[in-house]
Amino acid sequence: MAVTVKDLLGLPIMKNFKVIAGSKGLTKTITTTEILDFEFIREGYRERIFEGNSLVLSSLLFAKDQPELIFEAIKKLVYLNVHAFAYKPVFFNALPQEALDYAEKMSFPILEFGDDEFFEEIIFSIRGLVEKDHALGFIEPLLKEMVNRDFTKEEAEAARDQINPLLRPVVVALCVKVKGMDESQVMHVIRRSKPDERLASKTFVGKLNDRFIILLSSDELNTARYQAIFEDVMVAYGLAGNEFTIGIGHPRNLAERFELNIREAYWAEKVAEIENEDVKYYKDLGIYKLIVTHINSKRTEEYMRDYLAPIFDEDDKDADLLQTAIEYVLAKGDMIKAAERLYCHKNTIRYRIGKLQEKLDPNTNEKEFYQNLAAAIKVYLLLNMIRQQEEEK
C-alpha cells in the first residue's frame, strides 16, 4: 500500500487542485511534502534537501524576475526523484510551455492550486494521510494473522496495543462488506476518515482485503450501546445508507483471546454472504464453527471432494444435482423452501434429493444423509468463496 498523487487529490484541502501537466504520472507514490524556496535554484545549494518520492510546493518566488528558471527547476526536481510539483499562481498565472512539455514527456505531474489553500495545511493533511496509510499497511497483516492462528497471551496484548490501546474493557468485533465496494475503495474510505477523538478512543476501523474490520468497545456489555457506537462509526466514515453484510463475534473482555474477536467476525461475515443474510452472529454458525477451524486442512477438502465426487462429474442430464444439493442445504433441509429457491415443484426437489442420496450416501437414513451432505456442501461453499476472492485480488 502506498499513497499516490491521485490519492492526494482526494483530500478535502486538495479538491480544487488542477492537473495541468504530467497526468500519466498520477500513480507515482508520495511519502512526504517539501517546499521549493527561492534559494533552491542556486548551483549546488541544498540540492539534497529533496528526499525524493515527494510532492514539492512552491509559490515560484525564486523565478519572479526570471521565468526561464522554472524549466530548470522542473528538470532538477525530476532528476532528484521528486514525484510531483504543485504551485500557487501568485507570480505566474501560467507556466512556460517548455516546462509543461517536459513534464508531460517525463510523466511528472504539475498541479496548480488557488489562494485558499495554505502550505502548512497542505503539508499537515498529506502527512496525516501518509501516516494513516503506513499504519494500515502495518495493521492489515496483523489482522490476517489473527484470523489464521492462535496468539499467545503476550502476542494478544501486543496486538491490542498496536490496534488501539485506548479500547474500553468489553469489545465486540464486526466484519463489514459494503456492497459494490472494492479493496481500493475501502482503503480510500479509511484514509479520508476523520472520526472525532471521543469515537476514536473506543473504536477501531481497519481493512482486511475488501472488508472493514470494526471493533466497538464499552465499559460493560450493552447491546444498545454497541448499536449506537456502530451507527456513529458508519456516519463518521461516510458509510451510512450503504447496503452491507455484517459478521459479528462474541462480546469479550479485552483480556480474553483478543484474536478471536477478529476471527469470529471474519468467518461470520463469510457465512452471511453464503446464506444471503444481512447479519450473522458467530454464535449462530452451527457446524460452520467446526468447519472454519479446519478449513485449511487438506483432509477437510478431501472429505468434501470424496463425498461429492459422484455429482461433480455428472453429465448434462443430472448437472443440476449439485445446485439442488446447495439450495437444499441453504434451505436447512426444508424441501419446500428449496423448491422456492430453485423455482420448481417440491416433488421435483423430492426426486432430486432421492437421487442425491442414492448417489452419495445410500446406506444412511434421511437425517444422517442431510447431516453428511450439509457438512460437505458447507465446506464446498466456503472453499469456493475463499478461492474466488483470492482470484479477484
- DSSP per-residue string spanning 245-307: EEEE---EETTS-HHHHHHHHHHHHHHHHHTT-SEEEGGG-TTHHHHHHTTT-HHHHHHHHHH
Containing 78, the helix (H) or strand (E) segment is helix 68-79
Q: Are residues 67 and 41 in the same domain?
A: yes
Could you tell me the residue range of the domain that residue 91 belongs to? 5-117
Q: At which of 73, 101, 117 does a domain end?
A: 117
Judge whether 138 and 46 are in contact, CB under 8 Å. Answer: no
Cα–Cα distance for residue pair 363/359, rounded to 1 Å? 10
- Pick from 105, 91, 86, 101: nearest CA to 9: 86
Query: What pLDDT, on the 0 to 100 scale, is given for residue 389?
Result: 77
Strand, coil or helix: what is 149? coil
Q: What is the CATH number of the domain that holds 69?
A: 3.40.1390.20
- Pick from 326, 323, 341: nearest CA to 373: 326
Query: What pLDDT, on the 0 to 100 scale, is given for residue 316?
Result: 47
Burial label for 265, CB within 10 Å (0-12, 13-18, 19+), is buried
* Residue 127 belongs to a domain: no
- Pick from 330, 212, 205, 223: nearest CA to 271: 330
Query: What pLDDT, on the 0 to 100 scale, is given for residue 64?
Result: 85
Q: Are residues 110 and 195 in the same domain?
A: no
* Residue 202 belongs to a domain: yes
* Residue 138 belongs to a domain: no
pTM value is 0.76
Query: What pLDDT, on the 0 to 100 scale, is given for residue 38?
Result: 63
Q: Are residues 157 and 281 in the same domain?
A: yes
Q: Are residues 313 and 230 in the same domain?
A: no
Q: Are residues 173 and 271 in the same domain?
A: yes
Q: Are residues 104 and 166 in the same domain?
A: no
Cα–Cα distance for residue pair 340/324, rounded to 1 Å? 11
Q: Which amino acid, residue 146?
A: M
Q: What is the CATH number of the domain that holds 231?
A: 3.30.70
* Residue 141 belongs to a domain: no
Cell 498541479 found at: 111
Containing 54, the helix (H) or strand (E) segment is strand 54-58
Distances (CA, A) of 10 to 19, 53, 277: 13, 18, 33
Look at the alpha carbons of 340, 344, 348, 349 in this order and tell me if their dihedral is positive or negative.
negative
* Residue 134 belongs to a domain: no
Which residues of the chain are modeled with pLDDT < 70? 1, 38-49, 115, 313-319, 392-393
Q: At which of 242, 261, 285 does a domain end?
A: 285
**Taking the mean position of all CA atoms in its chain, how far away is CA 348?**
42
* Residue 335 belongs to a domain: yes
Q: Are residues 251 and 296 in the same domain?
A: no
Question: What string of DSSP letters covers 153-209?
Answer: HHHHHHHHHHH-TT--SEEEEEEEEETT--HHHHHHHHHH----HHHHTTEEEEEET
Judge whether 140 and 206 are in contact, CB under 8 Å. Answer: yes
Burial label for 366, CB within 10 Å (0-12, 13-18, 19+), is exposed
Residue-wise pLDDT for 160-179, tens only, equals: 988 988 999 999 999 999 99
Cell of 54: 515527494
* Residue 25 belongs to a domain: yes
Q: Are residues 264 and 324 in the same domain?
A: no
Q: At which of 256, 285, 314 does a domain end?
A: 285
Query: What pLDDT, on the 0 to 100 scale, is given for residue 43?
Result: 54
Q: What are phi and psi of 254, to 5 degrees?
A: -55, -30
Q: Are residues 187 and 106 in the same domain?
A: no
Q: Are residues 111 and 68 in the same domain?
A: yes
Q: What is the CATH number of the domain that holds 353?
A: 1.10.10.2840
* Residue 126 belongs to a domain: no
Residue-wise pLDDT for 304-320, tens only, equals: 999 999 988 665 455 68
Strand, coil or helix: what is 2? coil
Total tally of structural domains belonging to the chain:
3
Burial label for 22, CB within 10 Å (0-12, 13-18, 19+), is buried
Q: Are residues 32 and 89 in the same domain?
A: yes
Q: Are residues 267 and 339 in the same domain?
A: no
What does the DSSP 8-state code read for residue 60? -
